[in-house]
Amino acid sequence: MVCLSGVLVKRRSRTTYRPTTLPRAATPRVVVRELFIGSIFRVFLLILLGYVPQSVGIVHHFYLEGEVVAHGRYKVREIAQQAGLSEATVDRVLHNRPGVREGTRAEVAQAIADLDKQRSQLRLAGRKYLFDVVMQAPPRFSGAFREAVEAELPSLAPAVVRTRFHFRETGSVPAMVETLDKLVTRPSQGVIVKAPDTTEVSDAIDRLTEAGIPVVTYATDVPNSSRVGYVGIENRAAGETAAYLLEQWLCDSASSVLVTLSSNAFRGEEEREMGFRGALRRSGGVGGSGSQRTLIDISESEGLDTTVERLVLDALERNPDIEAVYSIGGGNMATVRAFEKLGRRYRVFIAHDLDRDNKQLLRDKKISTVLDHDLRSDANLACRMLIQGRGGLSGVTTVMSPIRIITPYNMP
């Protein structure tokens, strides 16, 4: 039997105690010190090898060429919540285990990137909310709105808001419905959605509401659903504004006007076109016995540049008198390119939303004006409406976003 201060030795019929002297290095203080240094060395070695145990703290990873690389810290629970996946799935991704789809790895990587951008929110004290933004739109618009949302999160204090983003450039109505239905179980505490106005989408919004999840529609409304409100411009008024501006440029010219839409399924685009046509009709520009010009519509391009360019080229070849453009659904780089390919000129080009493409076109004076609205104000209002829907605020009402007329000379 051995102890720190001596040895018990059994000799013949009696047991005696023989004192021993420990070496200097084996004193209790030195033992503790060496154990501590050894532990630090082992942890450092594990970090170098990428095998940090979960009990030490969940490692924050990022996705690089198909592998997960450690570089910081987040809890598995936080990553799983942000990604909308199970903790077990996230753990498999973080430890680069087999049997995980590349799409799932990408979702975890995106969740970590989102947490990086919203890191300041994680450290705040206050009532916490997790909102989802579901949007079918080209990246030029969805990306701009994402930046606006993330920029506005700190201004929502004392509420602490985190967001998840579900963007698709194109897609079917069933795919949109599937995305919305998944938020019932993920779970979400509020949803901002830009989606087609269909019965299926309306029913999906109703299911979210029944589950206690408030929904705000953005940019294009789904009015027959149980959403708590709509945020965005008055689309019919925007179309009327476009008609007014167009007539100032064209005056008495009988030029035809090309009207481009991304999809007739979006109520907002439909309302813009109705406002545009109605204003021209009232002024005698189209539709009456003394109408001066023809409107040529192209639609179902989904705002995709390749599709827009093809449709515009076809319209220009069939209509040599087109000299004006009202772009409701975007894809303006492609529209300008189509005119240039055919050596055609236009007298006026009116567009919507001051995204990166339109900023460049304005600088180059290739479009005349952009009807814009403040995305950050929209994002702030949408989030506050969701907080109110969760009982965290009161007195928040729907206010239509002011329409801003942007030219090359007043571009922010």
> Average pLDDT of 380-387?
97
Angle at 233 (CA atoms; ends 229, 235), nearest 5 degrees: 105
Does any domain span residue 218? yes
Are residues 105 and 123 located together in one domain of the fold?
Answer: yes
pLDDT of residue 291: 57
pLDDT of residue 8: 43
Domain with residue 197: its CATH number is 3.40.50.2300
Q: Is the pLDDT of residue 68 over 50?
A: no
Are residues 219 and 241 located together in one domain of the fold?
Answer: no
> Average pLDDT of 15-28?
47
Q: In this structure, are residues 293 and 286 in contact, taking their beta carbons and an 8 Å threshold?
A: yes
Q: Which residue has the higher pLDDT, 290 or 130?
A: 130
Does any domain span residue 137? yes
CA atoms within 13 A on the CB side of 122: 15
Which of 231, 246, 271 terminates a domain? The answer is 231
Does any domain span residue 135? yes
First to last CA, the chain: 83
Does any domain span residue 162? yes
Are residues 120 and 212 located together in one domain of the fold?
Answer: yes
How much is the mean pLDDT over the chain? 83
Per-residue pLDDT of 132-146, as tens digits, reads 999 999 999 999 999
pLDDT of residue 227: 97
Q: Is the pLDDT of residue 275 over 50?
A: yes
Does 187 sit behind a cis peptide bond, omega within 30 degrees of 0 on the bond before it? yes
Are residues 275 and 226 located together in one domain of the fold?
Answer: no
Per-residue pLDDT of 330-381, as tens digits, reads 999 999 999 999 999 999 999 999 999 999 999 999 999 999 999 999 999 9
pTM higher than 0.75, yes or no?
no
Say whether 4 sits in a helix, a strand or coil: coil
Are residues 157 and 298 located together in one domain of the fold?
Answer: no
Return the closest-CA partner of residue 344 out of 382, 306, 374, 317: 317
Are residues 146 and 107 located together in one domain of the fold?
Answer: yes
Are residues 164 and 241 located together in one domain of the fold?
Answer: no
- How many whole angstroms separate alpha carbon 375 and alpha carbon 358? 15
Are residues 103 and 182 located together in one domain of the fold?
Answer: yes
Please count the other Cβ atoms lying within 10 Å of the Cβ belonging to residue 26: 11
In the chain, how many domains are there? 3
Q: Which residue has the higher pLDDT, 305 or 12?
A: 305
**Can you spell out the DSSP letters for 95-154?**
TT-SS--HHHHHHHHHHHHHHHHTHHHHT--S-EEEEEEEEES-HHHHHHHHHHHHHHGG
Are residues 67 and 193 located together in one domain of the fold?
Answer: yes
Range from 19-28, 169-178, 255-264, 284-293 carrying the lowest mean pLDDT: 19-28
Are residues 216 and 307 located together in one domain of the fold?
Answer: no
Q: Is the pLDDT of residue 156 over 50?
A: yes
Does any domain span residue 202? yes
Does any domain span residue 395? no
Position 41 confidence tier, pLDDT thresholds 50, 70, 90: low
Look-up of token digits 């090359």: 408
Does any domain span residue 398? no
Q: Which residue has the higher pLDDT, 395 or 18?
A: 395
**CA 179 to chain CA centroid, nearest Å:** 14
Domain holding 104, by residue range, is: 59-231
Burial grade of 50 (CB within 10 A; 0-12, 13-18, 19 or more): middle
Position 389 confidence tier, pLDDT thresholds 50, 70, 90: very high
Are residues 193 and 72 located together in one domain of the fold?
Answer: yes
Per-residue pLDDT of 177-202, as tens digits, reads 999 999 998 889 999 999 999 999 99
Calculate helix-pair angle for 332-341, 305-318, nearest 10 degrees: 40
pLDDT of residue 246: 96
Are residues 37 and 65 located together in one domain of the fold?
Answer: no
Which of 178, 204, 231 terminates a domain? The answer is 231
